[in-house]
Amino acid sequence: MIKELATAIYSKYNVDAVAGGVKASTDGLFPDKAPSGTDTPYITYSFITTGSDWSFVSDYDMPLIQFSIWDDADSALVAETIGGKLVTLYADQLLTVSGYTIIRADKVGERLLPDPDGGWQYIVEIRYVIQNTG
């Protein structure tokens, strides 16, 4: 499920019309850590938890994904702006995930943190509820 959801996240970043604002504003979307030398701003995403739940009819996976926008600017404005676009792109949006049906995509939280190395980290957390259809 993680591999399929990661593929769907990356596809939406690259293909979706709304992504033009996010993709055009960043130097890339990377799992966990950007390659050395990547220009800011850029986005990383990590699977924080991959809990599950069940009903009398189906089992559900409920991964929590943390997106981080990294920017070296003195002002947090760019990171905050990209964060808002990222929420529009992924929260309440049903991704196409091979072998699964997305039931929900909820924004859990957003926060801005100073990066100890300078600049900013803007965090967006989204929880998906996914049903295995395979």
* Domain spans of the chain, in order of start: 2-132
pLDDT for the residue 21: 83
**Average confidence (pLDDT) over 89-102:** 89
Q: What is the pTM of this model?
A: 0.89
Whether 3 shows a pLDDT value over 60: the answer reads yes
Residues present in the chain in total: 134
**First CA to last CA distance, the chain:** 11
CATH fold of 2-132 reads STM4215-like (3.30.2000)
Q: What per-residue string of b and e applies to 29-59 under the rule 16 or more CB within 10 Å gives b?
A: bbeeebeeeeebbbbbbeeeeeeeeeeeeee
87 in Cβ contact with 78 (< 8 Å): no
Whether 124 shows a pLDDT value over 80: the answer reads yes
Whether 57 shows a pLDDT value over 60: the answer reads no
> In whole angstroms, what is the distance from residue 134 CA to residue 127 CA?
21
Percent of the chain surpassing pLDDT 70: 89
Question: What confidence category does residue 15 fall into, taking pLDDT thresholds of 50, 70 and 90?
Answer: confident
- Look at the block and give the residue holding tokens 């596809």: 11
If one counts every other C-beta atom within 10 angstroms of the C-beta of residue 109, the result is 11
